[in-house]
Amino acid sequence: MLRINDISFSIEGRPLFENTGVIIPTGHKVGLVGRNGTGKTTLFRLIRGELEPEGGSITVPRGARIGGVAQEAPASDDSLLDTVLAADTERAALLHEADSTQDAGRIADIHTRLGDIDAWSAEARAATILAGLGFDSAAQKRPCADFSGGWRMRVALAAVLFSQPDILLLDEPTNYLDLEGTIWLESYLARYPHTVLVISHDRDLLNKSVGAILHLEHRKLTLWTGGYDQFARQHAERRAQAEAEQKKQQAQRAHLQAYVDRFRYKASKAKQAQSRLKMIERMEPITLLRDAATVQFHFPSPEELSPPIIKLEDVTVGYDGKPVLAGLNLRIDQDDRIALLGANGEGKSTLSKLLAGRLTPISGQIHASSKLRIGYFAQHQVDELYLDETPLQHLRRLRPDEVPAKLRARLAAGGLGAEQAETVVGKLSGGQKSRLSLLLATLDAPHILILDEPTNHLDIESREALVRALNDYAGAVILVSHDAHLVTMVADRLWLVRAGRVRPFDDDMEAYRKLLLSERRTDTGGRAKQPVPSAGPKPKPKPKRNPAEIRRMTAPLQAEVSKCEARITRLEEMREKLDALLADPDTYDAANTARLRELQAKDAELNQALKRAEELWLKAVDALEAARKG
């Protein structure tokens, strides 16, 4: 059991924790959430003993091992598999001693202990974890030095998962994973046999992997039961209740004060007035701590172009003449919302760069509207900002004729307030740098916005704001993201990038999740399956739910039904526009043969999309009805 007892701690005079504590039972999976800068990472350092609280204490069970990912795996000549195996220091020490000792009794003891810690299956378990994080059998045999820092971070994560510490502390583990690795990690953490605390802004991970949310807000820690969606509902309900209580108290105070003001100097009523005055003094004010200003994004809307805005015909693309993707026959219209699926290294970023004009094809043709404007955001672009300049100076370089007030308004629309506008980029947080890069990418009202991992440094509130902005945006969106929630909420179509090809994935994210987990369980050649801890005692039957509980439980399903209905509405609007074009006699003019073929192809594609959308809607409705029936 992890006990945080009434701790206080400040950094440079700024208090992060004030007389706050929490008890986390052994084996619980807990998501630590809070706005950026509130002290989440500092709390991990306090738990590890790297910092000492100014007041209070933190206690962990005697002998408990605390583990986390502090830095990337070293660029050594050791293979990935050997690097992960070495993380189990007890196993490594026992094997070394077994090879060197001549004492028969000690050898027997060593082999007994090796059996107790399941040492003989260690290689298979390590291979399974590496496979889940995206390393196939061949990659596992290569030295760490062959891989970049981002990939070595995955190796470091694999090592700490393999070592199975009693208290596992993970700080934004999905920042260096792709969507496929994130989905695998969600499943793994849900099965992890010991205590887990994970700092994350990934809503799906916080819904699927943890059973409680530890909320850090206004220097206090509060533990909430359930995943993130349940926490968000309960937190909103509690805040609304506090607001109602505050209004009630203010009305009562005003009523008492009015009596005091009227009769305090009247002899016959003075005693009653003094009594009411004391009642006012005894009232403990209900104060509401104001949330920080909600982050908003606003992307300017482009004018409408004739479809398609981009069309690829038998395109091959790669680097130095070596193909990465081939046989690309794709079209993108201005109302498309497309997410690219596929593991790192399969070519998602290559396709993004091709569509953005950053790469030229090796062969084939790309047709684009002559008026097409493209906005492109990639992770590395954050590193291309001028660290010694302010966001205001960045905009002034691109818009030298605009008045400062207009530039500040643009920054505010991108989620950067007055204070950040005058702060040099080097002192901005990662999320603020990302918002500036997004603003620069959309400054010219692009017709297509290509986003390659846009959420790495954004907190949950900012990610929700990005979802709203993308759904309101009038241009096409091409999205690469490890955030499954973002993909689900934004994308209408999924393209799978795999084995040098790009093909439509005619199902939803939940189907892709199941496909991926199935593939990664067998990626080690059948040598091992995902370790699943003992199920424990049979759970007690659930009590009958009341109507309020049913509403809470079915809220996510209702949201999915609403999303499906919105998707169908949008596709039907596209259907109406296309029908109008097909009803126009000029469309069938002999000079418009190519254009007619494109419209007919779009018609077939739209029919298929509508059919699929209606199937997903029926599936969501069935799930909702089943949940309501219990």
Residues 95 and 119 placed together within one structural domain of the fold: yes
Answer yes or no: is 259 within a domain.
no
**So what's the pLDDT on residue 123?**
86
In this predicted model, which residue has the larger pLDDT, 181 or 269?
181
Answer yes or no: is 121 within a domain.
yes
CATH number at residue 509: 3.40.50.300
**So what's the pLDDT on residue 613?**
78
Residues 464 and 358 placed together within one structural domain of the fold: yes
In this predicted model, which residue has the larger pLDDT, 403 or 36?
403
Residues 141 and 227 placed together within one structural domain of the fold: no
**So what's the pLDDT on residue 535?**
34
What is the average per-residue pLDDT within 503-507? 90
Helices 460-472 and 430-441: crossing angle in degrees, nearest 10, is 10
C-alpha 223/C-alpha 20 separation (Å) is 11
Task: For residue 189, name the pLDDT band (cuts at 50, 70, 90).
Answer: very high
Residues 39 and 170 placed together within one structural domain of the fold: yes
Residue 245 CB contacts under 8 Å (≥ 6 apart), including other chains? 286
Question: What digits encode the pLDDT tens for the residues 452-479?
Answer: 988 887 888 888 889 988 998 999 999 9
C-alpha 579/C-alpha 574 separation (Å) is 9
What is the average per-residue pLDDT within 521-526? 51
Residues 97 and 236 placed together within one structural domain of the fold: no
**So what's the pLDDT on residue 431?**
79
Question: Which two three-digit tokens encode residue 358?
Answer: 């950053």
Q: Which DSSP letter does residue 79 get? A: B
Question: What digits encode the pLDDT tens for the residues 404-422?
Answer: 899 998 888 887 888 888 8
Answer yes or no: is 303 within a domain.
no
Q: How many domains does the chain have?
A: 4
- Structural contact between residues 453 and 445, judged by C-beta atoms closer than 8 angstroms: no
Burial status of residue 535 (CB atoms within 10 A of its CB: 0-12, 13-18, 19 or more): exposed
Q: Which of 125, 159, 193 represents a domain boundary (last residue)?
A: 159
What is the average per-residue pLDDT within 82-89? 88
What is the average per-residue pLDDT within 488-514? 91
Per-residue b or e along 171-184, where b marks 16 or more CB atoms closer than 10 Å to that residue's CB: bbbbbbbbbbbbbb
pTM: 0.69
- Structural contact between residues 337 and 490, judged by C-beta atoms closer than 8 angstroms: yes
Q: Which of 243, 264, 288 represents a domain boundary (last residue)?
A: 243
C-alpha 246/C-alpha 42 separation (Å) is 33
Task: For residue 51, name the pLDDT band (cuts at 50, 70, 90).
Answer: very high
Distance of CA 34 to the CA centre of its chain: 14
- Structural contact between residues 581 and 587, judged by C-beta atoms closer than 8 angstroms: yes
Task: For residue 53, name the pLDDT band (cuts at 50, 70, 90).
Answer: very high
Residues 43 and 74 placed together within one structural domain of the fold: no
Of the candidates 554, 564, 301, the residue with the CA atom closest to the CA atom of residue 448: 301
Answer yes or no: is 542 within a domain.
no
Answer yes or no: is 283 within a domain.
no
Residues 368 and 496 placed together within one structural domain of the fold: yes
State the residue range of the domain holding 559: 547-629
**So what's the pLDDT on residue 295?**
65
Residue 250 has pLDDT above 70, yes or no: yes
Residues 217 and 353 placed together within one structural domain of the fold: no
Q: Can you give 542-601 as a three-state secondary structure string?
A: CCCCCHHHHHHHHHHHHHHHHHHHHHHHHHHHHHHHHHHHHHCHHHHCHHHHHHHHHHHH
Residues 213 and 353 placed together within one structural domain of the fold: no
Residues 359 and 485 placed together within one structural domain of the fold: yes
What is the average per-residue pLDDT within 112-141? 85
Helices 593-629 and 547-583: crossing angle in degrees, nearest 10, is 170
**So what's the pLDDT on residue 541?**
44
Answer yes or no: is 249 within a domain.
no
Residue 534 has pLDDT above 60, yes or no: no
Residues 133 and 173 placed together within one structural domain of the fold: no
**So what's the pLDDT on residue 551?**
57
**So what's the pLDDT on residue 22?**
94
**So what's the pLDDT on residue 318?**
94
Answer yes or no: is 256 within a domain.
no
Answer yes or no: is 43 within a domain.
yes
Task: For residue 290, name the pLDDT band (cuts at 50, 70, 90).
Answer: very low
- Structural contact between residues 557 and 620, judged by C-beta atoms closer than 8 angstroms: yes
Residue 464 CB contacts under 8 Å (≥ 6 apart), including other chains? none
Of the candidates 187, 129, 158, the residue with the CA atom closest to the CA atom of residue 67: 158
Q: 493-498 and 337-341 as β-strands: parallel, antiparallel, unpaired?
A: parallel
Per mean pLDDT, which range of 210-224, 310-324, 476-490, 548-562 is the poorest?
548-562
Residues 59 and 81 placed together within one structural domain of the fold: no
Place of tokens 């909430």: 224
What is the average per-residue pLDDT within 582-595? 75
Q: Which of 159, 175, 190 represents a domain boundary (last residue)?
A: 159
**So what's the pLDDT on residue 262?**
74
